[in-house]
Structures are given as C-alpha cells and as structure tokens.
Amino acid sequence: MEVEVKFRYRDGVEEKLREIAELIIEKFEHDFYFNHPCRDFKKTDEAVRIRRDVEGVTITYKGPKVDSETKSREEVKVKVDSFENAAELLKKLGFKPVEEVKKTRKIYRVGDAIVCVDEVEGVGRFVEIEIESESIKDKEKLFEIAELLGYSRDESITQSYLEMILQEK
C-alpha cells in the first residue's frame, strides 16, 4: 500500500528538506488517466494511469483511499516498454481517456520515506510525503516528517492532482 500525505507548498520547505533529506532526482512526469468502461472511477475513488518519465513508462492502478486523513491506497504498478501500446491496449479494452497531469517533481529521501516537491501544471506547488507499507499506522511517520517541515496534521490535502485539475475545469 502507498501511505501518503500531501500539503500545499510553503516558502522555506526545500531549505528544511535539504537539512534532513537527500535529493534523489528531479524529473518531469506526464500522466494520462483513464476511466473504466463499466464503472465510474470518480464514484469508486479509483484510478488507472499511464506515466511517462525519464525512468520509463508505467501503468498504475490506484484503489480507493483507505482513511480520511491521508491519500493512502492500494497501488499496483506495471512497467511497460511503450506508452503508445499501453494506451492502445487500454482503449481496446474500453477504457476512456479522462485527463492528463503534467508536473515537475523533485524527489528526496528521508529514511524509508520519500518526499516529493511537485510543480503541477494548472494547480500549483505541493509537497507529498509517502512510504510503501502494509499498515496505515505508518502515516504517523509521515506526519512526523511533515511537522519537521512546518506542517500540521490538519493541513493535509486528500485530493489527488487529477481531482484538482478536473475541479479547475
């Protein structure tokens, strides 16, 4: 499961991050989201996307969020060799393209957690803190890191970037 919290970016966050974290990579991510042919992912709180970045192409399924404080959810990823073939496969299966999300992402590591500073086209800058875990209880680690960066628990955002972009339109 991906356990994740998100916050609006604040000035000074990256300076604090440099003190406690290691910068892993800065990259551009281009995500294309699809809707299921037999159920509305907006209603079921699920997502299927194809992501293209410098590390390759990945198809990802995201299950419904598992709690109200975070964006934590089941996540299944599959590496593929062709964005075009992956998109064509989903379309042949009846999936419909919904929207794209473009972002520049700086990825930092703090222990076993990842902290992303994202600049998302159309919606702004954010900080995401995540960890792969079997338990939602690990969200407490994420909130501890958030506190080190100057965020309080009640500032956590549970909307996905896709939801934000669709809301803006």
Instruction: Catalogue the active-site residues.
Output: 33
| CA pair distance 47, 31, nearest whole angstrom | 11
| CA pair distance 8, 157, nearest whole angstrom | 8
Give 139's contacts (C-beta < 8 A, 6+ positions apart): 3, 5, 67, 69, 70, 72
Q: Checking phi first, is residue 117 left (phi over 0); if not, alpha (psi -120 to 50) or beta?
A: beta
How far apart, in Å, are the Cα atoms of 46 and each of 24, 31, 66, 84, 160? 29, 15, 11, 22, 11
Of 51, 46, 59, 54, whose CA–CA distance to 89 is shortest? 59
